[in-house]
Structure 1
Amino acid sequence: MEIELRPKRAHPQTGAADGTSGAACFRGRSTPPPAFGILLDLRACSDEASLQLLSLAAASALSELAGCTLDCTVSLVRPGQAALVSGTSSGAIGLAQADQSSGDGPVSRALAGHLAVIVNSYSADPRWPSPWHPLTEAGYRSLLSVPLHLQAESMSALTLLAPADDVFAPGVIIAASAFSKLGASSYLSAAELRAAQSAAEHLQTALQGRTSIDVACGVIMGQNRCSYRDAFHILAQASSHRNVKARVVAETMLQQLPGGAPSTHFTE
């Protein structure tokens, strides 16, 4: 893995020069990245809420290693859907959104699958001249954005912002990359759990609705001495005439029975 860093003004970083715009390259060290655990608890009621939990976890986990309090944003761009950006502060979220809108900056580069680092505010990266002014205006002096792999056919990025220069040393970058893999796995697990819960709720609703229809048909069969098919036809006609769902017609009819609608119980 090659990591491109801008050199410090007074004390250049050591490394093998690559001959491009005074940058220095660092190759992955043999030191293993820090262990962050098996999975993060990102369970929430929505994708945006899970992304918010991920940004908070990343800022908490990496601030100590970086030596200062970091802000964090998580960006998720999906085809045919509105882009999601969650983060630990409104300023950080605004910077990420502006970068995504322009399509020309470190966050956009990370969304495309590339590592993007801005190290020192006093040594602006010539690739992205525009982000520097809003970055410093928002109170930040360095930035790191790494790719995330949250969903198929989507683009995602984890962005860390620091109020000081020289924060994102090679060790911090390696740790951020390792955390991005953990964060992606944790988000996918939370999304799968949310989808399973939603499917179970829809199934429960469908079963309850079908039960109301069946009981209502039974009542109609008793009142009209007809078959189930004829009873359902009567219920369907009432649904069509009132322009409401058959389940609603059935539930309304059952509520008018002496004692009200019978209760329904499902055994899990």
Structure 2
Amino acid sequence: MSVAEILQLYRENLLKIYDQRETKAIVQWVFEKVLELNSLKLEMSRYQLLTTNQQDELKAILERLLNSEPVQYVLGEVYFLGMKFNVNSSVLIPRPETEELVEWIAKEAKDNFSGKILDIGTGSGCIAIGLKKLLPNAEIFACDISEDALQTASQNSQQHNLPIQFFKHNILEQTSLNNSFDIVVSNPPYIPENEKEQIEKNVLNFEPHCALFTPSNKALIFYENIAHQCINGLLNKNGQLFFEIHFSKAKETEQLLRTLKFKNIEVRKDIFGKERMVKAQLEY
């Protein structure tokens, strides 16, 4: 089987479940990973014959993709802020909107920032590691409820030689962290369980539900807990709190922060035009 033949097999099948843009991106990603052929070399190598092992690997990948498994999990990697991150089903797949959040925090903190930052619900560690890359003098801590997620995050931190202090913690428990921070950031679960039917199959069937969903009647439970802990000592005076949010809950989240006497509250839209991030400052 030639490169051209397996390419045709991929395109014919993937177009049944993905649009043309997504199909092209997936094909390029897979073939660069397996055959080390970028888009230019791929076209120049159309008549190259594949080894049996290459054929088997590409067919196995295609089978997983046709089962709606995200390509990031199939290949075990994703790029975030130009860095390659290991990902698996214990962590959410980092998304472009979260890159925007990290860049916003870094811009607000300034290049020479040397304070302490806490990332709550770190998952793959992309926020914490991204911030360490952009703010090398910062002391960064990151927590998660999942041991598997923390192991993945630690591997990513070591891979990029960007040290983060990871620890296990359930933010819904009222256990004090015995520490305070200049910046607290979180991308917590924010999709109400009653919206599961609206979620794409590749997200619903493969990404960790504990990192996605909240009780339908307590959609802001994580925001409420984190904000309360911030005003009870987790966040330093004049410290900043950053959240990634559900676009439909932007007004409610903003009102929650106002009720708790946070100041300088700002909601920002993501690259898709949805209200996705919020910043607030603690003054007391």
TM-score, L = length of structure 1 = 0.22
Larger strand fraction of residues: 2
Higher relative contact order (CA 8 A, sep 6+): 1
Structure number, greater radius of gyration: 1
